[in-house]
Structures are given as C-alpha cells and as structure tokens.
Structure 1
Amino acid sequence: MSAKLTVVGLGSGNPDRLTLGIVNKLKAASRVHVRTGEHPAVKVLEELEIPYESFDNLYESFSSFPEVYEAITLKLLEEARSGNQGDEIVYAVPGHPMVAESAVSKLRARCAEESIELTVLGGESFLDEAFLRLGFDPIEGFQLLDATGITRSQLQPELHTLIGQVYDTYTASEAKLCLMEMYPPEYEVVVGHALGVEGEEQILRVPLYELDRQEGYGNLSLIYIPADRSDRLRQRTFARLHEIVGILRSPGGCPWDREQTHDSLRKNLIEETYEVLETIDEDDPEHMKEELGDLMLQIMLHSQMEEELGAFDVFDVIEALNGKLIFRHPHVFGDKDAADAEAALQNWEGMKAEEKRRKGIEPGELSALDGVPRDLPALMKAYKLQKKASKVGFDWGNVEDVLAKVQEELDELKEAIASGSSQEEQMLELGDLLFAATNAARFIDADPEEALTRTNRKFVERFRYIERKLRERGISPKDSTLDEMEALWQEAKGAERA
C-alpha cells in the first residue's frame, strides 16, 4: 500500500484567506511540500511551525516549466509509493489547485493509473481576487491564458482576458509580442502584482509597448486586457470578415452583392487571381496585401452563397483544407521522412492517391490526364497535360527532339498559310506549334506562362519607351514610320543591356 496524496490551495496570497480546514490538513500531514516558498501564505506554515520542503530548487535545475512540473509530479509519486499506509503527503500550491497548476493535472491522471489515493482541496484562486480588484464580471465573457504559451489565435478582444504565469520580464516580453499582433502598441493594458495582498498589491495601467519595461514581475503577477467590442480590433479578425460578407448578402445588405451567383462571379475570381499575380511580379507588398484581400473576398462570397443554401460554410472549407494539408504532409505531421522537395512531392502524390481510394475511386482506373482543371488558360493547361503524360512515359527523349518537333510544326503552319488553307486549319496548325513550344519550355524547366508573361512585360516596356521618345519629338506612333519605331525599339533593347 502507498501513502495518500492531498493537494491543497494556499489562496491568492493573503494569509488571512486560508481556510481552517486547509490549515488543519497542513498540521496533520506526515510531510508537506510547497511548489514555491515565494508565496505570502507560506509564512503561515512558519508561524505555525509546520515543517515543509519547497520545490524552488527545481526551477533552477530545468530549462522549462513543463520539465519542472514533470519533476514535481515524479517526486510526489515516488514518495507516495514508498510511504506507509495511513501517511498523508500534502502538496500545497498557490491559489486554487485546479487553476494553472500543471503538476496537479498530471497527478490526477497518474494517481488514477497507479491506484494512489488523491484528494484535491480547493483554495481561493487568484481569479477571485482579479474579479474583485479589477472590477469585471466574467459572465460578460472571459478567458484565462498562460503567458508561457500564448498564441495569436487565442486572442479574442471581445472577451475579458487575464494572462497568468507572468513570472518575469522575459515572459512579459513574450506576451507583449503576441498581443501586439492583435492590439496597437499604445493600447492600454493592466498589470497586477499580488492582488489582495496587503502592502504588496500593485495595479498599473500601461501602454502595451511598455509591458516588459515594468518592474516587479513574479509568481503573483498577471496581465489584464478589458473586453473591447469596438470595430477597431474586430477588423483584424476572420470572424468579422465572415460577419460583414453575411451582412452584404442579407436582405438588408447590398443589392449588387445579393444578386450575385457563382456564375456571375466566375470572371471576378479569375481577374482577382491575375491581379494578385501582377503584384507578385511587381514585388509590391502593399499592393499585394490589397489584392489578396480582393481574392479572399471572392472565396468568402462563394462560401457565403453555399452557407445560405445550407450546403457548407467557410469554416467547413477551412476544416477540409486543414485536414488535407495535414494528411498530405506525413513528413511534417506524421512519421514519414522527406529529405528534400522531390521526396516531399512524392509523399504528396501518394497521399492524393490514398484520398481517392478513401472516396471509393481507384487511382489505377483514372486517366493519367485527370485532375487538370477544364477552364485553365490554354498555355498553362498544355503544360500540365504534358507533365501528367510524361509521368507515365509518354514523352520526348531529349530537348533536341522537342526542338525538331517545334520546327516541324512551324513548317506545317507556313505551308498552311502559303497554300491558302482555311482559317480553321491554320488555327489548328498554330495550336500545334504552341503546344510543341510548351513542350520545349518543360524540357528547359521553364513555366511557359511565366516565360510569356516576362516577354509581354518586356514588350510593354519597350513600346512605352517608343511612345515616350516620340512624344518628346512632338509626334505619336501613328504619325511616325515603322523604321523610326524600329530604331527606337533597338535603342530600348540597348538601354536594357546597359
């Protein structure tokens, strides 16, 4: 048999708040451990001459808090196992045992597994003092976060937010950096030290950017951000975007948005995609931010339409995407390895095939060309079709053969034009030439869309050079000769090389 383990709470810091039952439990214990001696209520043990052992030394022995709490758990379990039946080991923690006490959560799980009797007795939590001293009602909406693991995704400005475990300036700095992803630097926050402890309590209101410039952080410190339901913060949330799009499509919303359908917005989706690509080519982050927003709006509108029909909403879209990304990256989220990009791509293709099997589709029965979107731009579609065909061995042996095919198709186009073939036949021969040229792009590892985009851009720059130079002469392109424009074209090429 083993000794009994009891966990008690020492309250928020004011020794007068200790309950008589907990004091009696500490007096009767065979052995008392405290998580830290740096707590005001511990002096009650000293006044009552109750011997205790602190785990403060573990904070210096390990580099992270999880390691400390694991060590505390193992130490207490070991003592319980080696103890005598009838002995009671008491572990006293600051505040309430079930609030921000990882070791207690660990003990609850491990004691149940090992059939060690465990009792947890509550105490006044630091939350009780926070509600009282900071003056807010948690029923209005409240969240408690851990400063040692806070993330941007946890922040909800519309809720009262308490951040505990602010042990030192470094932890305060980490919390500040996270908060500044949501709140402006000058946003006022509250720092509380030793709430409810007479002679030690401090409540400071400081701008967010000064959060880590304050002194006095320790075991009894916290950060409080009052609930803020103003639009200035909600504008940075995805929930607000979803709400706005819903309003635009509602009966009292925008007449234009309400009239839109999937079909009417098809061209908008394509146009916005190309506008994003243009900002990438221009390396213009500010413009890119705007155009990505316009593209996101298209996704939101299409999702909203389906939400109105009850088919799915944008959160279903996100859930499906998250699941797909995790499933297709077992080398990141699972147990497979990928030494390089090529191996990662093979994993991706393998997972795609597995997804099809789960949907009842046997990959081997599909065409090698399946999966290329019907409405892709023709040049891009040709490139993708050729890549898929090459994977099953239908390909040219080398680039020389490809270039010979390009020449062959060019000759056939010339012949069709010279012989006066129909416009339809000439167009087909032109298509064959473009398809062959796309194959050449693939063999030199160049995206044909990107190659043509660069040529288009080069043409625009050179032609505008011609226009500018002609304006300087007081004429326009239609007033000049082809020889004049050709000379300026060559001049523009020379300027590029320079």
Structure 2
Amino acid sequence: MTHRITVVGLGVGELEQLPFGVYKLLKETTQPVYLRTADHPVVSELATEGMKFTSFDSIYERHDRFEAVYADIVETLLEQAKQEAVIYAVPGHPLVAESTVQQLLARATDIDIVGGQSFLDPMFAAVGVDPIEGFQLLDATAFRVDEAQIRQHVLIGQVYDAFVAGDLKVMLMERYPDEHPVTLVTAAGTSKQHVMTVPLYKLDRVTMLSNLTTVYVPPVTEEKALNRDFATLKDIIARLRGEGGCPWDQEQTHESLKKHLIEESYELLEAIDLQDDNLMIEELGDVLLQVMLHAQIGLDEGYFDIRDVIGSVSDKMIRRHPHVFAEATVDSAADVVANWQTIKSQEKPERKYLLDGVTKGAPALMRAEQIQKKVAKVGFEWDTVSGALEKVQEEIRELQEAPPKEQLAEFGDLLFSLVLVGKYMGLSGEEALQLTNDKFIRRFTRMEQLAKRPVEELSLDEQDQLWNQAKQEEQS
C-alpha cells in the first residue's frame, strides 16, 4: 500500500508571495518534506524559521542527464511513500514544467496537488506579452528546434548555464536570424528579477544564468526567415491555387503536372552529378514544389492534403525499420533490405504476381533493372556474368538477321540483355547511358570548337580526326 504524496508548489517569489495555506502546511506538517531543489528563495527563508526538509540536489550530481535525475527522484518518493505519507515541494506550480510531478501522477493515485504561482504570469509581465496571442513553453534540456513555432511567442526554461545556452543558441540559429532579439529573464516575479535582451548569437555570452533563467524568443517577422518555414510554402501554394491566385497554377491537374515532375527530377539528377550544392538546393525545391502542388490539388478536390502525404511516409518508414523503431535486430544492410521486402509484401497482399509492382511510368532502362532484380530474388538468373554476356552476343546476331518489322523488338531484347550484364557487374544502365551521353556532348562540342569551318562542311574523315583529337585532350 502506498501512502499519500502531497505535492506543493513553492511559487516563484519570496516568502511573502507564498500563499498562506501553503505556508501553514509547510510550517505545521509532521510529515517528511522533500524538495526537488533547495535552490529557491522561499526555501532559504523557511529554513531560517526552522523548517526541516530533505533536498534532492545530490541526485543531480549523480547523473549526467535530467531524465535520469527525474526518474531517480520519482523512484525515491514512491519508495518512501510505501512507508509513510510525504510532502514533495517543487518550484513554481506543480503542474507547470515539472516532469517529476507528471511522472508521479502517471504512476500513483494517492496524490494531492497544492498550488503555487507558476513563473508564467511574472514572465509574461517581464517581457510585456499577452499570452492570448499564442505561445509555446519548452524545455531547453530537451529542446528540439523543429518544435519551435517561429510565428508565436516562445518561452524556453531550464537555461541554467552557458553550456545549455550555447546548445540552445546553435539550434535556434537554424530557424531564427542571428540578430534576432532574445530576452533572458532570471528570477521572474521576485525582488531579484533580472531582464536582459541580447541578439541571439550572444545568448551564451550572458553571465547571469541560473536554474531560474527563462529565455523569451519573440515571433519572427523577417520575410527571409519566414520563407524558410514549411508553413510559409504551404500558404504560398494555397494562395497560388486559390481565388485571386495564378491562372496557370489554378488550371493544373495531377495529369498535367506529370511531365513537370519528370523534368524537375532529371534536373535534380544533373545537379547531383555536378556535385553543385547550390544547384541541388534549387532543384530539390523544384521537386518539392511539384509535391506541394499535387497535395494542394488533393486538398482542393477534398481527397487528401500534405499532412496525409507526410503521415503516410512517416508511418511507412517506422513500419519498415523495426530495427530502429521496434525490437528487431539486423547484422547488415542486406538484412535491412530483406526485412524491407518482407514487410512491403505484407503491406501489399493484392499483388498476386512477382512483377505486379514494377513501376510502369519509369524510364525503360530503369524499369528493366527493376524487373531483373525482382526475378533474381526467385533464382531466375545465371550463376555468373558470362551467361549474360553470351546472351548479349545472341541478341546481336538476332538483330543482325531480323527482318525490318522485327528489328525494334530485337533491338529491345539487346538493350534488356545489356542491362542484365550491368546488374551482374553492379552498374546501372540508366546512369551508364547518361554518362555516355554527357561524354559525347563534351567531345562533340570540343570538336566544333577545334573545327576551322562548320562541321557540316567537313568530310567524315576530317570529323573523325577532330573527334579523336577531342578524345585525346580529354584523356590527357
């Protein structure tokens, strides 16, 4: 049987700000009193009046992470409550930014909450903000930059030293301008309240940091910073497609955008081949634009929106990576691929035949690679590349001997066999042909540069000489 745990909020100020009921409870209790931390103005004043307590400050010194500290405190309190009723006193209000209290509530039923003033009221007063405008309260020790709503007021607690402030600064600078003003408020609502506003990049240079320090980050108003936010892109696409938007965007359908998605994808591949980071940023943006347009069309038609798209891929990644998000174990990348295929086949039971999932809209060479990889999984392949090479020779002979009406089919058989050779050698037919296309363009362009008159006026021998010269230059 567990005895009652009474959780008391000590408020944020000095003793005269402590509610009389809380003061009386702490002064008159015969139960043991435990403090999450003794580093609080009220504690020192109550101690001078003879209050006895046990502080958990020593637990902070035993652990490197706050999660472990809080877990240790909770276990200690639950064990003590098996023997007798206890009082657990925390700074501020017990239900505001108190992880230990939330954990206690999740694990025990005999818990009373006795309020105290949270730091939020004096914090808003210190920075002159009306919370009705919308705000977030976050923990610096568990801060994730993508959680920050840059259009809202953001309060970040637990900025207790320069190390935490430094980590917080680096993360915030991913979303906010370096010069964005931030306000540090220490001991809000007390006679020792200290308020300082600095540019974001100086956040970790402030010397007055303590466990009573909270950072206020005002909403972003700069257009350049707002344009980096996903919500802005979503709003832009909605406006383009909406009333008073762009006639071209308004006319687009899933079908009309197909060619644009293909074009943008190939432009991205070119940027990757060029290893041009700035060009990759631009081309990735163009691909994302196509995704956003399709999602907006889905929303306009009432079938789906971008959240459905994101939710679908998130669910899929979690489901297909049980070695990361669940209890499965893998020893190699091959195990990952095997697990992926097994899970994928369970997700799509409607596919009756092995090649049902081959993408019909993919480029022909890429589609041939997909086909050959799938049939290889059931053993439909030669043991070595020599069999595939012999097949190429066979297809060449058949092409040479084929009548005109059969040449297209035989030419396709030859290409399919060459792609199969690439599979055995670990080479992509699509990438190989693109590489050769680029090489041909470079050499022919150089041939035109070397020619002393238009290439169409040159004989084949003259063209061939210039071609060989361009080839030698490239190889030297």
TM-score (norm 2): 0.96
- Aligned partners of 1:377, 1:275: CA distance in 2, in Å? 15
24-33 vs 155-164, which deviates more? 24-33
Q: Which residue of 1 aligns with 2:248?
A: 256
- Offset at residue 3 of structure 1 (A): 4.4
- Offset at residue 177 of structure 1 (A): 1.4
Superposed, which structure 2 residues align to 1:300-379 within 5 Å? 300-357=292-349, 361=350, 366-379=352-365
Question: Aligned with 2:185: secondary structure?
Answer: strand
- Offset at residue 192 of structure 1 (A): 1.1
Structure 1 outlier segments of 4+, above 6 Å? none
TM-score (norm 1): 0.92
- Offset at residue 73 of structure 1 (A): 1.3
Deviation digits for residues 52-84 of structure 1, max 9, x if unmatched?
Answer: 22111111111111111111112222222122x
Distance change (3 Å), C-alpha of 1:2 and 1:337: closer
Deviation digits for residues 273-306 of structure 1, max 9, x if unmatched?
Answer: 1111110111111001101111111111111111
Alignment match of 1:386 (pick from 364, 372, 377)? 372
Q: Which residue of 1 aligns with 2:464?
A: 486
Superposed, which structure 2 residues align to 1:407-426 within 5 Å? 407-416=393-402, 421-422=403-404, 424-426=405-407
8 Å contact from structure 1 (residues 36, 93) kept in 2: yes
8 Å contact from structure 1 (residues 95, 124) kept in 2: yes
8 Å contact from structure 1 (residues 29, 89) kept in 2: no
- Aligned partners of 2:379, 2:56: CA distance in 1, in Å? 67
- Offset at residue 332 of structure 1 (A): 1.2
Deviation digits for residues 98-140 of structure 1, max 9, x if unmatched?
Answer: 111111112222222xxxx321111111111101111111111
Q: Which residue of 1 aligns with 2:103?
A: 106
- Offset at residue 321 of structure 1 (A): 0.9
- Aligned partners of 1:3, 1:389: CA distance in 2, in Å? 66
- Aligned partners of 2:254, 2:189: CA distance in 1, in Å? 59
Alignment match of 2:124 (pick from 127, 131, 135)? 131
Question: Aligned with 1:414: secondary structure?
Answer: helix
Q: Which residue of 2 aligns with 1:43?
A: 44
Structure 1 gaps of 5+ residues are none
- Offset at residue 383 of structure 1 (A): 1.6
Deviation digits for residues 291-343 of structure 1, max 9, x if unmatched?
Answer: 11111111111111111111111111111111111111111111111111110
Q: Are 1:428 and 2:409 counterparts?
A: yes
Distance change (3 Å), C-alpha of 1:194 and 1:256: same
Q: Which residue of 2 aligns with 1:469?
A: 450
Deviation digits for residues 180-205 of structure 1, max 9, x if unmatched?
Answer: 1110111111111112221x221111
8 Å contact from structure 1 (residues 193, 217) kept in 2: yes
Q: Which residue of 1 aligns with 2:24?
A: 24
Look up the equivalent residue of 1:218 and give its one-letter code: S
8 Å contact from structure 2 (residues 181, 218) kept in 1: no
8 Å contact from structure 2 (residues 292, 306) kept in 1: yes
8 Å contact from structure 2 (residues 10, 42) kept in 1: yes
Question: Aligned with 1:156: secondary structure?
Answer: coil
Question: Aligned with 2:203: secondary structure?
Answer: helix
8 Å contact from structure 1 (residues 157, 233) kept in 2: no
8 Å contact from structure 2 (residues 3, 83) kept in 1: yes
- Aligned partners of 1:249, 1:399: CA distance in 2, in Å? 53
Look up the equivalent residue of 2:446 and give its one-letter code: Y
Look up the equivalent residue of 2:233 and give its one-letter code: L
**Identity level (%):** 45
Q: Are 1:402 and 2:393 counterparts?
A: no
Q: Which residue of 1 aligns with 2:61?
A: 60
8 Å contact from structure 2 (residues 9, 89) kept in 1: yes
8 Å contact from structure 1 (residues 368, 392) kept in 2: no
Q: Which residue of 2 aligns with 1:91?
A: 88
Q: Which residue of 2 aligns with 1:15?
A: 15
8 Å contact from structure 1 (residues 166, 172) kept in 2: yes
Deviation digits for residues 405-446 of structure 1, max 9, x if unmatched?
Answer: 111111222223xxxx32x32222211111111111111111
Alignment match of 2:155 (pick from 156, 162, 165)? 162
Deviation digits for residues 458-486 of structure 1, max 9, x if unmatched?
Answer: 1111112212222xx4x232233332332
- Offset at residue 229 of structure 1 (A): 4.9
Question: Aligned with 2:182: secondary structure?
Answer: strand
Distance change (3 Å), C-alpha of 1:452 and 1:188: same
Q: Are 1:443 and 2:424 counterparts?
A: yes
Question: Aligned with 2:89: secondary structure?
Answer: strand
Q: Which residue of 2 aligns with 1:266?
A: 258
Superposed, which structure 2 residues align to 1:63-82 within 5 Å? 63-82=64-83
Look up the equivalent residue of 1:121 and give its one-letter code: V
Superposed, which structure 2 residues align to 1:273-288 within 5 Å? 273-288=265-280
8 Å contact from structure 2 (residues 260, 290) kept in 1: yes
Question: Aligned with 1:370: secondary structure?
Answer: helix
8 Å contact from structure 1 (residues 13, 94) kept in 2: no
Question: Aligned with 1:161: secondary structure?
Answer: strand
- Offset at residue 2 of structure 1 (A): 5.4
160-169 vs 32-41, which deviates more? 32-41
- Aligned partners of 2:61, 2:24: CA distance in 1, in Å? 31
- Offset at residue 230 of structure 1 (A): 5.1
- Aligned partners of 2:383, 2:53: CA distance in 1, in Å? 81
Question: Aligned with 1:91: secondary structure?
Answer: strand
- Offset at residue 392 of structure 1 (A): 2.0
- Calculate the aligned-residue CA RMSD, in Å: 1.6
280-289 vs 103-112, which deviates more? 103-112
8 Å contact from structure 2 (residues 126, 185) kept in 1: no
- Aligned partners of 2:167, 2:327: CA distance in 1, in Å? 31
- Aligned partners of 2:172, 2:413: CA distance in 1, in Å? 58
